[in-house]
Amino acid sequence: MDNNTICDPTKAADYDVFIGMDVDKRSIALTTRDRMGIGKSLKMSYDPDMLLSYVHNHFDGKSAAFVYEAGPTGFGLYDAIHEKGYPCIVVAPQTIPTTRGKRVKTNRLDSVKLADLLRGGQLSGIRVPPPAYRELRELTGLRNSQIDAVRATKCRVKSLLLNNSLAFPDPLSRWSKRAICNLRGLSCNKAVHFKLNTLLDDIEWHQNQALKTQVALRQLIESEPEFAESMGFLMSMPGVGWIIASYTLARIGDWRLLGRSDETSSFMGLVPCEDSTGDDTNRGSITKAGDQRLRSMIIQGAWTAIRNDRELGEFYERVRKNHPAHTAARIAIVAVARKMAVRMHCVLRERRNYEKK
């Protein structure tokens, strides 16, 4: 059953019991509600088998629906509930309606709120990725962590040199092997030399780990025909290389769960904010919702796309000419990125390569 089915109040009426859960690594705060809003709250250990046994013993013969917030505990609880045939939705915390002025927050009260909102059909669940896509997310996330560590350590090296009035050797070669070798041989005091070499060792280690992760990621994609096929569709688009395609696929997840094409650009935070009323339409900057890294990747790819796709290049110029000079390029490239997000949606959904016009 689709996660979002329970969000419709007419569908919520099909269930007899609504179970809201606030989950942490040790326990589950549980609240049950029947159609009349009557129920109780309790706390149990974080044990999916114990939870399902409780539901079976107390609500045997009744249809039950579950909900909990997305968080560090992942989707293990969702898998266990779904495996037993119960519908369960996982909601993003920021999408849960809140009441202003309430200053008391406990696990029990959170579970009560979730159960009541589920009963009223007021919750919208996220699309839970299948296990294979979770593996893809784990590896792309690890690769990004290693790359971030390399970037941060390089900044520490530059800071160390600046703090000790030392110049970066051979700045034109940047972080080549030659530059690293010259850094290791830099003339400085023992403490700075030791710290510098330690930081350079960290850079080398993280680069090696990133390379190992990249190899594992390629092996995973090649072992899954669906991944390899989807990667081919994405990479058929100008401006989308292997890195962007793999991360996009990991974040979007199963293409079968894709809805309207504008949902993908909204998921990437590339749609404008809007505060309209009556005949007045007021749009602002993009929402910047979702994954910041994915959004940055798509925008970066858009610069390549406008040079290799005539249609996107012409679109970029049209948008740029209609805005003030100091913001024109930024607004235009974001518009191109939004169009690319829609195209990504289409090639994945329709299972075909992109064809330039």
Q: List pLDDT tens digits, range 88-129.
A: 999 999 889 888 888 888 999 999 999 999 999 889 888 899
What is the structure's pLDDT at 205?
97
What is the structure's pLDDT at 283?
73
What is the structure's pLDDT at 280?
66
Fold classified for 3-119:
Nucleotidyltransferase; domain 5 (3.30.420)
Orientation angle between helical segments 225-235 and 242-252, nearest 10 degrees: 120
Selection from 30, 52, 170 nearest residue 114 by Cα: 30
Give the residue extent of every domain in the chain: 3-119, 131-223, 230-350
Query: Which segments of 60-176 are extended strands (E)?
Result: 64-69, 88-91
Rounded to 5 degrees, φ, ψ at 241 are -100, -170
Supply the mean pLDDT for the chain: 92
The identity of residue 21, as a single letter, is: M
Cα(138)–Cα(124) distance, integer angstroms: 25
Stronger pLDDT, 171 or 48, i.e. the higher one: 48
Cα 82 versus chain centre, distance: 22
DSSP state of 277: B
Residue partners of 317: CB distance under 8 A and separation at least 6: 332
Sheet holding 27-34, edge to edge: 41-45, 27-34, 17-23, 64-69, 88-91
Q: Which residue has the tokens 């990133």?
A: 210
Q: What is the DSSP string of 1-41?
A: --GGGGGSHHHHTT-SEEEEEEE-SSEEEEEEEETTS---E
